[in-house]
Structure 1
Amino acid sequence: MRREWFDPFKSDVEVVFAAAEQLVQKYPEPMSEHALEQIHLVNPLLRDSGHSYIGYIIPLWMHLSDGLPQAKAHRLSTACLMHMLYFLNQDEVMDERPADTTLKLSLGNLYYMDALCAYSELFSLSSPFWTYFRQYVEDWAMSVTGENSIDYFKRSPLLIAQKAAPLQLGTAGSLLLLEQGHRITSVCSAVNIALMTLQMTDDFTDTKQDAVHGNYNSFLSHISTALEHPYPAHPVSECVHDNVYNTQFMNSYVNIARQYNMKLTSSNLGIPHLEAFNSYLCSILGQAVQNIEQHKKMLLQGGFHYWMSEQHHGS
């Protein structure tokens, strides 16, 4: 299936990842080796890297749709990629408490420095870019520290996108380079929908894992709200656990994503690649539910046939 939000940009993505590799090859060992491994893990040209494209691809979209000069699009995209790697390491340390925490935090700071250097080459100190930079990082900080006590998804599904707020820098930066700062609010609102949908797909996939680790999860929030159970709560109640594969809850969760997708596609912002990407995420989420439903039917059918067979042999 052709992914119109990615396939036309493969050559640009190749340039961006090559630039990132050049940066990390200058890191001291063994961090350089680990950095290259991380870059390869998120490189969609080498393997299925999940849905992290939104972290760096927006400037490339803006090159095609709005005429952002290619060199600037590549530079900003590279900066966004390095910045994304920094936050990926931060999130992993907070969510999974890995054994190599020291390495990930140390490496993250090198990513952060390279991102800042790249941003500084594109934006002067007086640029409003740095105001957006601070705001998005503050939004991220407030979101990750509040997850243990605030049910963001219950308040408003869009609030879960704040955890990915720094990924908006590709949008704000592109529009500032295009001298279209007046569009930042409306376009970032649209990108926020995609960030929300992305988080919803990740949460649906990681439901069981997040329940065990006590990480905030929008699908667990959705189930808890429907059952009138408090959330966030750790450990998650047995009743919530037992309803993870409840058809009604899974479908209503997908419907939330679809409703916001309708808002995005009807916004007429002229960002076809963003609309295509969010629609793709909605289809992925819907397919995941369908796969679970199909599996449930097979198990049910198998159990029924087994029971019938036992009855036949016992008679």
Structure 2
Amino acid sequence: MKWFTDYKEELELVFDEAVRRISAFPAPLNKAGLDFLDKFHPLKKNSTKNYICYLLPFWLREQTKLPAGTYRTLSLANVFVMLHFFVQDDLMDTDTGAEERRTMLPLSNLFQAEYSRLYRGYFSSDSPFWAHADTWLGQWAECVTRENEADYFRDDPVRIAHKAAPVKLASTGALLLSGQEELIGPFSRQTDHTLLALQMADDWADWREDLETGSYNCLLSLIRTRRGLKADEPLTEDNVKQAVFVHGCLRDYAEAASAWFGGAPTGLFHAPHMDAFHQSLLDDLLSEASRIDKERGLLELGGFTYLLSKRNKS
């Protein structure tokens, strides 16, 4: 995990500064903001890790060769991007009460103000940065609005990545500051492939929850397609388990993610740690598929053989 461990000291500085800024929010939003930040702090146990959100500018260091402080600022800005859009996602995806909305909506606006202020420190109002920012925001808005009805995983999988399009603000900034605006488009497309793999890995982990809440899920989309179901037709937990554990659907899912990765690199830029992060996502999916394939094979040989294999693991 050098794509993470190489930047732990930098991330400590970034998140310390995020804590300082959120602490200055008016009460009680400062406490709510710090509590929300803790959920995603990469250096704290039991937090949700969203590595690409704050590591993306660091992963471009070899390509862009900017001052060290610039990467910290771009990472800090993207921490606030992450927090703002996660609040938006939570409000759209969960049945929050009026009291929680009264806290989280203004808090989200304060997060947005912070990242806008940080980016304005580098980019004037006439900078092309803001046109790209509008593009990433438009991609996000369309994806979260239409993903269920459009069924992007079936028809245009890379567009699934647009749910996280705002993270590309940091890479856009780094490329502009290094005079490489021509790489923004190609790097955006490669980042989309990494974001797609990340979403696919998350959807494998979260399929039960997404099935229950009706949230869009790439794995469930694949299974619906295999069963000839429309997006609004019911899919049961037993349907999913049969597809995964009997018919090997996860193997096809993981291999599809790997095939898309193979077609992503352009050779126009050097971001080895992003490639390594992407590969780790694929390795995890393929490893899970292999584990399930092995257990299914043992079951086909007979229950006694399967029990022996389980015992040998203990």
TM-score by length of 1: 0.88
Per the alignment, do residues 94 and 297 of structure 1 end up closer, same or farther by CA in structure 2, a change over 3 Å counting? farther
Q: Deviations over 1:95-132 (max 9, x none)?
A: 22244343222211111111111111111101001001
1:200-244 deviation line (CA, Å, top 9, x unaligned): 01111111111111111111111111222112x264357744424
Secondary structure of the 2:148 match is: coil
SS of residue matched to 1:243:
helix
Q: Which moved more, 1:3-12 or 1:255-264?
A: 255-264
CA RMSD of aligned residues (A): 2.5
Q: Is the 8 A contact 1:76 1:122 kept in 2?
A: no
Amino acid in structure 2 at the alignment position of 1:62: L
Deviation at 1:21, TM superposition (A): 0.7
Structure 2 match to 1:313: none
Whole-Å separation in 2 of the counterparts to 1:291 and 1:92: 33
- How high is the TM-score relative to the length of structure 2? 0.88
58-67 or 206-215: which moved more?
58-67
Residue 38 of structure 1: aligned partner: 36
Structure 1: which amino acid aligns with 2:269? L
Once the two structures are aligned, what percentage of the paired residues are identical?
Answer: 31
Map of 2:14 onto structure 1: 16
Q: Which residue of 1 aligns with 2:180?
A: 180
Tell me which residue corresponds to 2:93.
Answer: 95
1:150-299 equivalence runs, <5 A: 150-231=150-231, 233=232, 235-236=234-235, 240-241=239-240, 242-264=242-264, 267=267, 269-293=269-293
8 Å contact from structure 1 (residues 212, 235) kept in 2: no
Q: Kindly tell me: are residues 266 and 279 of structure 1, through their superposed partners in 2, closer, same or farther at Cα, counting changes over 3 Å?
A: farther
Distance 1:72 1:292, change over 3 A: same
Q: What does 1:60-71 align with in structure 2 at a 5 Å threshold?
A: 60-71=58-69
Answer yes or no: is the 8 Å Cα contact 1:214–1:235 preserved in 2: no
CA distance in 2, matches of 1:159, 1:71: 33
Q: 1:25 aligns with which of 20, 23, 31?
A: 23
RCO higher in structure (CA 8 A, sep ≥6): 2
The C-alpha deviation readout for 1:42-87, integer Å capped at 9, x for no partner, is 1111125444111121112223443122111111110111011111
Unaligned runs of 5+ in 1: 309-315
Q: Distance in 1 between matches of 2:132 and 2:265?
A: 25
CA distance in 2, matches of 1:39, 1:154: 34
Preserved CA contact (<8 Å) 2:64 2:174: no
User: Quick check: 1:161–1:193 contact (8 Å CA) kept in 2?
Assistant: yes
- The reply to whether residue 111 of structure 1 matches residue 111 of structure 2 is yes
CA distance change for structure 1 residues 258 and 48 in 2, over 3 Å: closer, same or farther?
farther
What is the alpha-carbon distance in structure 2 between the residues aligned to residue 297 and residue 23 of structure 1? 54
| 1:289–1:34 Cα change, 3 Å | farther
Q: Match of 1:4?
A: 2
When residues 165 and 172 of structure 1 are mapped into structure 2, their CA distance, relative to the original with a 3 A threshold, is same
- Structure 2 distance, partners of 1:106, 1:118, is 19
